[in-house]
Amino acid sequence: MNGASELGFAHFLAHADSLAKFLLLVLLLASVASWYLILTKAWANGRARRRSVEFLDFFWNAPSLDVVAAKLEQRHPDEPFSHLAYHGLMAHRHHERHGVNKLDEAGSSADFITRILKRTIDEDTARMESGLTVLASVGSTAPFVGLFGTVWGIYHALIAIGVSGAGTLDKVSGPVGEALIMTALGLAVAIPAVLGYNFLVRANRVTLARLDSFAHDLFTFLATGARIDAQIHAPASGNVAPIKPTARSA
């Protein structure tokens, strides 16, 4: 009874060989990296979401594009929607002032703005997806690292039992049970990484869908001087209705 009570994680750690300690270190580093990415990216996404709502409310209620451009020049864009609007406005102004001077600016103003908006969305996508590969790798490999440690521990436990010649149940269950600790640790590292990965991927997908919708509205406004909704409801005289936020752009 006393011998059984001495078994546990502390006993396993004290009698672990160099390979088992190395696997424990790998799992520890993977856990720290995954929790760091989950917490920092969740905080960054929450802050960017709040600032995006504020910017969209300001953008669609601004009296002119000049006011929006002046605001963006004073405060550098720090979230995807203002970043996209800034580059769209700069591309529109650049093509109007300088025209086509190199291959990157070839085509009409609409073509140039489309390329800039697409490039900006690609940059924001890469930024939002940074670190997700680490979470996916940890979630898929941590259980196997733990399983490898368990197999290694059971192997050494069976060798020790065979050398001692004591094959009773109490002599076998203790070392084998300790070896299973590695599998439990591998699962403890993998489960938060998988859940965090799915949460962040879902949040990024929603943000990118809203960003694509905003890019469509922004392109329409830059190309024609009015949003699609404003064009549809414009009076016959051709006057453009003031820009107002809608559910799609909010």
18-22, 31-35, 104-108: the lowest-pLDDT one: 104-108
In the predicted model, what is the mean pLDDT of residues 34-58? 92
Tokens representing 38?
Answer: 């989950």
pLDDT digits (tens, 9 = 90+) for 169-214: 555 666 677 778 889 999 999 999 999 999 999 999 999 999 999 9
Question: Rounded to an integer, what distance in angstroms lies between the CA atom of residue 166 and that of residue 171?
Answer: 7
For residues 189 and 34, is the Cβ–Cβ distance under 8 A?
yes
How many contiguous H segments (helices) and E segments (strands) does the chain have? 9, 0
11-15, 108-112, 214-218: the lowest-pLDDT one: 11-15
Tokens representing 128?
Answer: 């939002």
Mean pLDDT for the chain overall: 77
For residues 65 and 89, is the Cβ–Cβ distance under 8 A?
yes
Beta strands in 73-165 (DSSP E): none
For residues 217 and 249, is the Cβ–Cβ distance under 8 A?
yes
Q: Which residue has the higher pLDDT, 239 or 47?
A: 47
For residues 77 and 211, is the Cβ–Cβ distance under 8 A?
no
Question: Rounded to an integer, what distance in angstroms lies between the CA atom of residue 217 and that of residue 219?
Answer: 6
Question: Rounded to an integer, what distance in angstroms lies between the CA atom of residue 173 and that of residue 184?
Answer: 16
What confidence score (pLDDT) does residue 99 get? 53
pLDDT at 31 over 90: yes
For residues 187 and 146, is the Cβ–Cβ distance under 8 A?
yes
What is the distance in angstroms between the CA of the first residue and the CA of the last residue of the chain? 66
Q: In 3D, which of 96, 90, 93, 98 has the Cα closest to residue 119?
A: 90
Q: Which residue has the higher pLDDT, 167 or 40?
A: 40
What confidence score (pLDDT) does residue 227 get? 46
Question: Rounded to an integer, what distance in angstroms lies between the CA atom of residue 220 and that of residue 224?
Answer: 6
Q: In 3D, which of 29, 34, 82, 32 has the Cα closest to residue 59?
A: 82
What confidence score (pLDDT) does residue 169 get? 57
pLDDT digits (tens, 9 = 90+) for 71-130: 888 887 778 898 888 888 888 776 666 555 554 445 567 777 888 889 989 989 999 998
Over pLDDT 70: what percentage of the chain?
72
| Structure-token match 């107002």, residue found | 244
The model's pTM: 0.74
